[in-house]
Structure 1
């Protein structure tokens, strides 16, 4: 007999699933390829008191994943909000933020930019970098996970949120502050490498006491989107949408073509050069 369960932890080829009444099982799949993610609703067959087998996934409302030349990596399923966690120390990659925003637009998932460690003096230097993204309509919240996370609760209630970001941004510290009983592992930042040590090695879903769910995911260093076709890219940049259809050529690559609306907008200072450069990089990645 099959039962419906939720994947609440992903450990490569094995998962922790939870049934509606709270029973949990270690679950594997019948196939070698594991196309499942934390947040998935799945049908499982119960084998014994501790083990189950995943038979299939139920339809998803959303799927956040990344891809490169070699493989796809599922991050989370059925989420309604991506919380991109940033900090001034260690330094974050602006392009990674921008890629997360494009992925959120593609999956039609709302975004919150969370600037953690706001108490650090280095934070002042990153606010101007983030200001253009706020101007695009993406909400941003500043806080320090080690001081007060209460402003974050209002954004998490009734949402299924996933924390994404580089290692060292403080995702696990945020989880600890929100859910002290979880005691997620944290580690000190490797200053010499200017990067955080990977402290979250697998994705985990937590139930929030005020309603909603939170998925903590391992740190990202890259966010490939090779799966996105070239003709879908431009609308995923909100500031590019007003220029759609205004280029001289309908198949414009927005690179060096004459009478390109995006190049003209760049020259007028209406769009950021790093955003247009990202569009070009994404086109190159998908082979366009």
Structure 2
């Protein structure tokens, strides 16, 4: 007969407290209590499962055993986002209301990377927002705006900004009452935007980095910032735009997550059409310059389909 599992002495279930993970590095998390107090916690067991944005149940340490708490449980998530490299995929943010993708007139936006973010957001039912920065650069901005026009036609909100000349402008109103993940490539102005929205963000990041013992790894740490004193509006800063992960998506799901391709995918001759080479493919028939599906968008679809079709690497 198996003996019932017993909780360690001094750790009754009733002692669990609610918290929000606002930063994480390795097996250490910074957990914020409802009153705003923050404490370093680590997960029970060998595997870290909590990510920034997680709502957790945690316990303070027993008297005389340090000041770091223990994460006992992660509450059910509304959504989960990933980053990846050549070897592995790792979750990094949860319970996001909105993704703000910041790109700039210069350097030229990467549509492939933009598409990755929008697809991941679509898969997790997260509202997207695309902001094109540096509108003070008239000709480059006009070219970039035209290049992004198909995304506006697909229904993605597209906004213009000049962060250095005009500040955050109307962006704070678009973030009100939401937890917004801010992403963008190097040179797009993401750090400028974060510092406009959260004065002293750099100092907060350094403080959190030191608390988590991440030191020089500050730039790889996802961080949750409150914009308002009521803690109802937040931005989440996370580096690694090019590492946005999609391996959790099956290849056959991809077409349904790209609005321009999804609009035609249901009209193909074959129900299991990959939209790459089959006869009677309505998507391929729609591909053309100025047509319903831009050739460069189908090229992105093809590249991602091939990527997601590769066997996992272990």
Asked if these proteins are the same fold (TM beyond 0.5), I'd say yes
Taking a change above 3 Å as real, the CA distance of residues 50 and 185 of structure 1, as seen in their structure-2 partners, is closer
Q: Out of 12-21 and 101-110, give the one that drifted further.
A: 12-21
1:145 and 2:156 are equivalent in the alignment: no
Deviation at 1:130?
0.8
SS at the partner of 2:219? coil
Deviation at 1:223?
2.6
Question: Whose helix proportion is higher, 1 or 2?
Answer: 2
Q: Which runs of 5+ in 1 are unaligned?
A: 187-197
SS at the partner of 1:65? strand
1:203 and 2:222 are equivalent in the alignment: yes
What residue is the counterpart of 2:307 in the other structure?
285
* Distance in structure 2 (CA, Å) of the matches to 1:225 and 1:271: 22
SS at the partner of 2:114? helix
SS at the partner of 1:227? coil
* Distance in structure 2 (CA, Å) of the matches to 1:66 and 1:287: 18
Larger Rg: 2
What residue is the counterpart of 1:130 in the other structure?
148
State whether residues 111 and 138 of structure 1, in contact with CA within 8 Å, keep that contact through their aligned partners in structure 2: yes
Deviation at 1:50?
3.6
Taking a change above 3 Å as real, the CA distance of residues 33 and 272 of structure 1, as seen in their structure-2 partners, is farther
State whether residues 25 and 49 of structure 1, in contact with CA within 8 Å, keep that contact through their aligned partners in structure 2: no
SS at the partner of 1:286? helix
* Distance in structure 1 (CA, Å) of the matches to 2:201 and 2:305: 41
Equivalent residue in structure 1 for 2:282, among 261, 265, 273: 261
- Cα deviation digits, residues 200-251 of structure 1 (max 9, x gap): 3311111122741111111322333122112221111112223233212222
Taking a change above 3 Å as real, the CA distance of residues 92 and 35 of structure 1, as seen in their structure-2 partners, is farther
State whether residues 206 and 213 of structure 1, in contact with CA within 8 Å, keep that contact through their aligned partners in structure 2: yes
- Cα deviation digits, residues 114-167 of structure 1 (max 9, x gap): 112222343232111111111111111111222321310110001110001222
Q: Out of 81-90 and 210-219, give the one that drifted further.
A: 210-219
* Distance in structure 1 (CA, Å) of the matches to 2:193 and 2:174: 14
What residue is the counterpart of 1:73 in the other structure?
90
SS at the partner of 2:199? coil
Equivalent residue in structure 1 for 2:50, among 36, 43, 56: 36
Q: Which runs of 5+ in 2 are unaligned?
A: 1-14, 206-216
State whether residues 288 and 295 of structure 2, in contact with CA within 8 Å, keep that contact through their aligned partners in structure 1: no
Taking a change above 3 Å as real, the CA distance of residues 265 and 219 of structure 1, as seen in their structure-2 partners, is same
SS at the partner of 1:150? coil
Equivalent residue in structure 1 for 2:266, among 226, 245, 266: 245
What is the root-mean-square deviation in Å for CA atoms of aligned residues?
2.3
- Cα deviation digits, residues 14-46 of structure 1 (max 9, x gap): 111101112211112233432322110011121
SS at the partner of 1:276? helix
State whether residues 181 and 237 of structure 2, in contact with CA within 8 Å, keep that contact through their aligned partners in structure 1: yes
SS at the partner of 1:103? helix
Taking a change above 3 Å as real, the CA distance of residues 158 and 234 of structure 1, as seen in their structure-2 partners, is same
TM-score by length of 2: 0.81
Deviation at 1:173?
1.1
* Distance in structure 2 (CA, Å) of the matches to 1:230 and 1:160: 29
TM-score by length of 1: 0.88
Count of aligned residue pairs for this structure pair: 277
